[in-house]
Amino acid sequence: EAGVAQSPRYKIIEKRQSVAFWCNPISGHATLYWYQQILGQGPKLLIQFQNNGVVDDSQLPKDRFSAERLKGVDSTLKIQPAKLEDSAVYLCASSLVPANTEAFFGQGTRLTVV
């Protein structure tokens, strides 16, 4: 079974530029999460989708971050404009259903904002 795929693996941009990350979850997984992991910290949820609807985006900085999940499968996370403090690893995860089942994580995209 293929895992959660993310691209790109690494991205370096200048502050005020825009960037987008892509995630392809495990086939059949209805729930998709985006987490931000700052160096030395645990991952923090940015947004959770159930199929193509948003379940929780309470911790998403909506002035600069946006995310969508078209057709309830792939998802993109965008930052515009980026700030230095956005440097982090962005993790995508998916699960079959949200009710306390295992979440499977991708390898993440490491973003460096200079």
Partner 1 sequence: GDSVTQMEGPVTLSEEAFLTINCTYTATGYPSLFWYVQYPGEGLQLLLKATKADDKGSNKGFEATYRKETTSFHLEKGSVQVSDSAVYFCALSEKTSGSRLTFGEGTQLTVNP
Per CB under 8 A, residues contacting partner 1 are 3-4, 31, 33, 35, 40-45, 48, 55-56, 91, 93, 95, 98-108
Nearest CB to partner 1, comparing residues 3 and 8: 3
Nearest CB to partner 1, comparing residues 36 and 86: 36
Please report how close the Cβ of residue 31 comes to partner 1 at its closest, in angstroms: 8
Nearest CB to partner 1, comparing residues 14 and 99: 99
Gap between the Cα atoms of 34 and 52, Å rounded: 14
Please report how close the Cβ of residue 33 comes to partner 1 at its closest, in angstroms: 7
**Residue 75 is inside which H or E element, if any?**
strand 75-79
Nearest CB to partner 1, comparing residues 81 and 104: 104
Where do the DSSP E strands lie in the chain? 5-7, 10-13, 19-24, 31-37, 44-50, 53-56, 65-68, 75-79, 88-95, 104-105, 109-113
Please report how close the Cβ of residue 83 comes to partner 1 at its closest, in angstroms: 22
* Cis geometry, peptide bond prior to residue 25 (ω within 30 degrees of 0): no
Supply φ then ψ for residue 32, to 5 degrees: -130, 135
Please report how close the Cβ of residue 105 comes to partner 1 at its closest, in angstroms: 4
